Structure 1
Amino acid sequence: MATQSPFPFLDDLVSRIAGGLKPPAWMLEEIQRRLLLLANHVLMQEPEAQSRLARQAGGTVEARWRLFEMRLRITPAGLLDLAPADAQPDLTLSLSDVSPWQFAQAALGGARPPVHIAGDVQLAADINWLVEHVRWDAEEDLARIIGDAPAHAMGETMRRMMQALRRFAGGSGDGPGQAGA
């Protein structure tokens, strides 16, 4: 059951702002490059993920949501790079036109938003495998910098905050007094 935003005017406002304001191209490219750095960092910690992507080397994936679009080229090393703007995508992933509120609510609840998939079936299967199996262990990365105990404490704090956000958004969360996974 989809829950409506308690503030429908905010959805309308966000749509109007997003339609009228568009960041400059250089800013979008820099944001995309930072996202790629994070994605490649996570992929480098998963040899199976890199192996699956390496089999798809040269393939281009386009991801879309509302006005946002990103084209990625798969490298021979099984990592990702920005594809040229004129590159034809082998696979297109389009998030359905859900409001930012619904998108955030689904993400907090652990659900995936509806996605329209068009293109190479094998590439789509490999991308789906990545979505299902690859996770960023931020706590492990943080432990390399500040040590195990402080990283674990910060991780536990973040898990509790996420549980509270899930309960607030109406998603499934542990009840009061129960520990999170």
Structure 2
Amino acid sequence: MATSSPFSFLGTLLDRAGSALQPPAWAVEEFHRRLVLLLNHVLMQEEQAMERLLRHQGRAVRFQWRHFTLHLQATPAGLLDLADPLTPADLTLTVTEESAAALAQTLLRGDKPGIRIEGDVQLAADVNWLIEHVRWDIEEDLSRLIGDAPAHTLGQIGRAATAALQKFVALASGARGKTAA
């Protein structure tokens, strides 16, 4: 007898809520602006990342998942800016996983989701390099605000929480596989 996992119910609920609830356009635009600020902050800490983006100045990349879209453009400074929505994308990266719960599980396991890539190959290679090599050192940023020792402690707590969440996701995925069999 196959029993359904409570996680499948939560996944269905998340998918329904995600497709039914649409944030207002101003909130999406503001979120995109804040995301660009964060991305540029991280990029400025990695000179090689900025050099790679500089080679693609003026080129646009569109990230898509379901009905969510982020359209970015490389600037002459080797950073990112929001691209005009009418600017054609030189590269489109579309997340193929439709389920929010399955996507979250994939990311929490530390795996990359499936991506459909359309467009410029060199730009895609450099975007992939950025994704693989550029990391936000949040502990370093926190240390500037609250000092080294408290930042290190918060970093340890965050790493422990992440590890526990990843272990939970792995156990839940394993349990779901056994109940479906």
Please report the TM-score for the alignment, with normalisation by the length of structure 2: 0.88
The residue that corresponds to 1:91 in the other structure is: 91
Cα deviations by residue, 1:23-45 (Å, 9 ceiling, x for unpaired)? 11111000111111110000000
The residue that corresponds to 2:174 in the other structure is: none
Structure having the higher helix fraction is 2
The residue that corresponds to 2:168 in the other structure is: 168
Please tell me whether the aligned partners of residues 95 and 114 of structure 1 are also in contact (alpha carbons under 8 angstroms): yes
1:60 aligns with 2:60: yes
SS at match of 1:170: helix
Cα deviations by residue, 1:147-171 (Å, 9 ceiling, x for unpaired)? 1111001100110001100110007
Spell out the pairing of 1:121-132 with structure 2 (5 A cutoff).
121-132=121-132
Cα 1:121/1:5, change in 2 over 3 Å: farther
Query: Alpha-carbon deviation of 1:5?
Result: 6.7
Please tell me whether the aligned partners of residues 5 and 102 of structure 1 are also in contact (alpha carbons under 8 angstroms): no
1:15 aligns with 2:15: yes
Cα deviations by residue, 1:78-131 (Å, 9 ceiling, x for unpaired)? 111011111100000000133222111111111100100000000000000001
Please tell me whether the aligned partners of residues 5 and 101 of structure 1 are also in contact (alpha carbons under 8 angstroms): no
The residue that corresponds to 2:175 in the other structure is: none
The residue that corresponds to 1:158 in the other structure is: 158
Unaligned runs of 5+ in 1: 172-181
- Residues in 2 aligned to 1:84 and 1:20: alpha-carbon distance in whole angstroms: 27
Residue type matched to 1:21 in 2? L
The one of the two structures with greater contact order (alpha-carbon pairs below 8 A, sep at least 6) is 2
The residue that corresponds to 2:81 in the other structure is: 81
Query: Alpha-carbon deviation of 1:17?
Result: 2.2
Please report the TM-score for the alignment, with normalisation by the length of structure 1: 0.88
Please tell me whether the aligned partners of residues 15 and 101 of structure 2 are also in contact (alpha carbons under 8 angstroms): no
Residue type matched to 2:53 in 1? L
Using the aligned pairs only, state the percent identity. 54
4+ aligned runs moved over 6 Å, structure 1: none
The residue that corresponds to 1:32 in the other structure is: 32
Query: Alpha-carbon deviation of 1:19?
Result: 2.2
Query: Alpha-carbon deviation of 1:6?
Result: 4.3
Residue type matched to 2:41 in 1? H
Unaligned runs of 5+ in 2: 172-181
